[in-house]
A = this chain, B = another copy of it.
Amino acid sequence: MNKVSSVSDQIRDWMDSTGRNARAAAQVIAHAPTGVKNRALQAMAQRIEKDRERILEANAADLEAANTTGLSSALLDRLELTPERVSAMAQGLNQIAALADPVGEISAMNTRPSGITVGRMRVPLGVIGIIYESRPNVTADAAGLCLKSGNAAILRGGSEALNSNSAISGCLAQGLADAGLPEGVIQVLKTTDRSAVSAMLDSPEYLDVIVPRGGRGLIEKVSAESRVPVIRHLDGNCHVFVDEGANLDKAVEIAFNAKCRRYGVCGAMETLLLASPVAPAVLERLVPRYREAGVALRGCERTCALVADCTSATEADWQTEYLAPILAIRIVDGLDEAIAHIGRYGSGHTDAIVTNDLSRSQRFVREVDSSSVMVNASTQFADGFEYGLGAEIGISTDKLHVRGPVGLEGLTIEKYIVYGDGTIRP
């Protein structure tokens, strides 16, 4: 049994009242008509546009405080809101309003020999806890996704973004009120008390699932302590394997894009695997492009023999999600070795093969156990928008409930519905 002993009475009281509000609101939002939910989302978007200056001022206060406490420049960038970023938040809410409502969708209805008709109906999960860091836009994005999928949400952002999140949550609350929905549908925690997170993790009676969004430390703490089920998104140690006989142009474009389009995203390639027959030709064309882009190369012995200025890769390199202009390269003898490497070092996030061989493409797709497996496409496509989900609350690297980008459907589940006509079981 997990014990969370560090929670003060005050935080426990807060959790009780927040949890009860959320449970009551979940009853309402689960059955709210699609039109009402959309009206709330659009009203939130309008409030955010209208309050843009106030949100930017609150964000400026957060940035100032963060500067004095010496937050890293990467974190500062995540924390910073610009007029464009605020507008993007509002636009995101309007986009969620435009998505089809997953709640109430009925599928697979069929009549059984007994006379009952059995099918499934998509329903919300209930109350979703979101624990996140830095980016204030998560407040609006996550709240919008939870609301549209018929769930109540309890959001706990980073203390460094407290003023920004407060300003945004004010807009969300007004949007709910505009649509006549209870304020308990979206509750944004306004304390920096760290034990609030522990209280959430210890409250399966109030929360049906927790989605942590942030660094590895946060996600591991949540996984280890939580008595509430967790949808995790851990590392993206992503691979591209260039198969023998692959089209060289495609291989070079994909390998370059997968690494260099953006370094800091979880779908970025971290290790390039090359089938030995194509390795020299691929490296000859790719290495100058990586050099130009400033990507540091760390290769296996065979790679280093072909590439000047290539550092020897260590065991740690195969395990590392660089999220930086660094690339590990390994030459392998073929598909089996590539699949084995990915199985051993990959994080089950996103892995791609570049090939023109149908049978090997099928094997790769079947045998690589990752949330996204790609053929002749860049791993940087791993994204809810790109997949047509409209938006995502994270990318699950778990193996239960949902794998890959988590959109509205991932925040719901199907129950069975059964119709008879006075039908009894013999």
Determine if B208 and A374 form an interchain contact, defined as CB atoms under 8 angstroms apart.
Answer: no
Q: In chain A between 362 and 397, which residues have their CB closer than 8 angstroms to a CB of chain B?
A: 365-367, 369-378, 380-381, 386-388
Q: Is A305 an interface residue (CB 8 A)?
A: no
- The CA-CA distance from A226 to B425 in the complex, in Å, is 36
Mask, A393-421, CB within 8 Å of B = 1, is: 00000111111110000000111111111
* Chain B minimum-CB-distance residue to A255: B424
Known: A366-B31, A417-B373. A399 touches B208 (CB 8 A): yes
Q: How far is the CA of A208 from the CA of B381 in the complex (A)?
A: 27
A30–B369 contact, CB under 8 A? Answer: yes
Complex CA gap A2/B398 in Å reads: 19
Nearest Cβ on chain B to A334's Cβ, whole angstroms = 17
In the complex the two chains form, what is the Cα distance from A154 to B148 in whole Å? 40
Q: Is B420's CB under 8 angstroms from A375's CB?
A: yes
Binary contact readout A247-281 vs B (1 if CB under 8 angstroms, 0 otherwise): 10110011011100100000000000000000000
Choose one: B400, B402, B415, B425; the contact of A403 (CB below 8 Å): B415
Interface hit among A119-127, A182-190, A192-200, A312-320:
A119-127
Subset of 30 A-B contacts with CB under 8 Å? A1-B2, A1-B224, A31-B367, A104-B366, A112-B386, A116-B377, A121-B366, A121-B373, A125-B399, A126-B399, A209-B400, A229-B398, A254-B420, A257-B425, A371-B416, A372-B416, A373-B415, A373-B417, A373-B418, A374-B417, A375-B417, A375-B419, A377-B424, A380-B425, A381-B425, A387-B416, A387-B418, A402-B413, A403-B414, A404-B416
> Sorted from nearest, which 7 A-B pairs have the closest CB atoms?
A377-B420, A250-B422, A257-B424, A401-B401, A374-B418, A372-B416, A380-B425
